Amino acid sequence: MHIFVKNGLPAFSRFIPIYNWFYPLYNTSPPNIVESPIEFFGKIIIENIESRALYFHIPFCSSICTFCSFVRKKIENKYEVDQYVDALIKEINIKASFSNVCGVPVNAIFFGGGTPSILNPSQIIRLGKAIKDNFDLNNLREFSFEMSPLHIHDGEKLNAMKDVGVTHVRFGVQTFNRFFRKCFGLSASLNHIYTAAEILPKIFPYVSFDMLYGMNGQTDDEFFDDLEKAVELDIPNMAFYPINNLITQLCLHKSFEAHGRYPTSGLTKFYMNVTLNQFMRANGYLPHNGHEYVKVSVNEIEKKPVVTNTYSFKYHEHVYGYKQQEVIGFGTNAISALNRYVITNTDSIAKYTTNLLQNNQWDFSVGEHETVADECRGMILHLPYHGTIDKSRIAWDKLDEAIVRSFNNLLHYGFIKESIKSYQLTEHGWHWYVNLIYYLCPSNEQRLIDGYISQCNKIHERNIEDCDNY
């Protein structure tokens, strides 16, 4: 992929068909499978780590959505969820017994899935207590909990969430369009969604919902209809993700093909994102990161910032953050992104649960990377995703030379600009933020991403969009 100037407009030669990924992917040696946490967690160094986010994975759903690639299964009975929660609490207790795990202040908590709101009130309370008993939550700024609109009428559940300290509730809408809702296998009705939009802001300080765009054959009318209905919900926070055809289920691809709907090209998705930004600004919203919007004051709109700093999603500040911010994950397939290490829990729900309950241990793989990868995090992730980096938070003398060259190229072409204390995305840079992350990654990282895309492309039932830029 290279930068070229297209009739005066700098552009990248191709689009990247994935929109977020964990960095770094590259390990200095093949990942080791570790069975005993004692072998590993005692080694973590926490010097200079300012804050952490905790992630908890709840891999159960009442039905499986066809756009989802996360580790999840359809719930069979309450017992299996009880067992999983017991295992999760054991993992929390074991990890937190190490001072270098629990000794760093927690800034953000995120319950993701699956469908975290499938937990019953008692399970939510037990998990909340385990977290509170084991971690320093004095600096907690955000406790996010994903929920399905199907659970909106369960008052006890909502109270349990509030009791454990949930501040930010996120629910999935994805689309209002009946055809796409059917293709996605979404079980919540539009009435559930409208009720959630009405009730949740009365209970929780922050409410957000997710939308998808760029589905196969999505027309401009369908796209704008979704945007208009999204804004009509009058929720202050919302996220828009382009559909990722590399990870959606094959049955979704078949369904689209059967209806004569072909993948929306990378170029069109790019312009959908540009137009989405204009639409949201015209309706009083500004982006605060690569995917998410927040309702702001008229004054803030008139300032026309590329990205607003009036609101921040703290969990993503850690996932796409500086070297000094880490994430620790709990649960099946949960990822911990630490300095020097990326740790991935087993993706087998059964193995995770059984090993923890019977043996007080669980399988996880440890990938080790060079310290230079951590030094570059702010530049590679925070700048493209959040729109800015603070010069004082980057150790410029420790950066990889190739990355510095790429960075200077981006400055030259006007994707980023410099001010006294920071670098920021230009408007043009914001439109290209995914490509900027890829472009700034070291070549070994880019090769892994390319390899993954190539592998997905080989599955003939999977229709990936045209990613060339013309």
Partner 1 sequence: MSKTNELDGWKNFLKGRILQEQGNNEKALEYIDKALAINPNNAHYLNAKVFALQSLGRSDNAMAASIASKYEALAKKYVGKADKPGPWIEGLEEISANIDDFEEKAEEAIKVVW
The residues binding partner 1 (CB under 8 A) are 6-9, 219-220, 223-224, 264-265, 267-268, 271-272, 274-275, 278-279, 281-282, 414, 470
Strands 364-368 and 32-34 turn out to be antiparallel
Q: Least distance (Å) from partner 1 to the CB of residue 425?
A: 16
Residue 180: Cβ-neighbour burial (10 angstroms; 0-12, 13-18, 19+): buried
Q: Least distance (Å) from partner 1 to the CB of residue 272?
A: 7
Do residues 236 and 198 touch, judged by C-beta distance below 8 A?
Answer: no
φ, ψ (nearest 5 deg) of residue 341: -135, 145
Residue type at 103? Answer: G
Q: Least distance (Å) from partner 1 to the CB of residue 429?
A: 14
Determine the 3-state secondary structure of 369 from DSSP.
coil
**Separation CA 221–CA 416 (nearest Å):** 33
Nearer to partner 1, 336 or 424 (CB): 424
Q: Least distance (Å) from partner 1 to the CB of residue 75?
A: 39
Q: Least distance (Å) from partner 1 to the CB of residue 216?
A: 12
Nearer to partner 1, 264 or 325 (CB): 264
Q: Which residues 6+ apart lie within 8 Å of 323 measured at CB?
A: 48, 339, 374, 375, 377, 378
Nearer to partner 1, 251 or 282 (CB): 282
Provide the sign of the torsion angle of the four alpha carbons 87, 90, 96, 101, taken in this order.
negative
Nearer to partner 1, 141 or 229 (CB): 229
**Separation CA 404–CA 407 (nearest Å):** 5
Nearer to partner 1, 275 or 365 (CB): 275
Nearer to partner 1, 92 or 272 (CB): 272
Q: Least distance (Å) from partner 1 to the CB of residue 21?
A: 26
**Separation CA 205–CA 285 (nearest Å):** 18
Q: Least distance (Å) from partner 1 to the CB of residue 265?
A: 6
φ, ψ (nearest 5 deg) of residue 459: -80, 110
**Size of the chain in residues:** 470
Helix axes 78-96, 121-134, angle to 10 degrees: 0
Nearer to partner 1, 29 or 278 (CB): 278
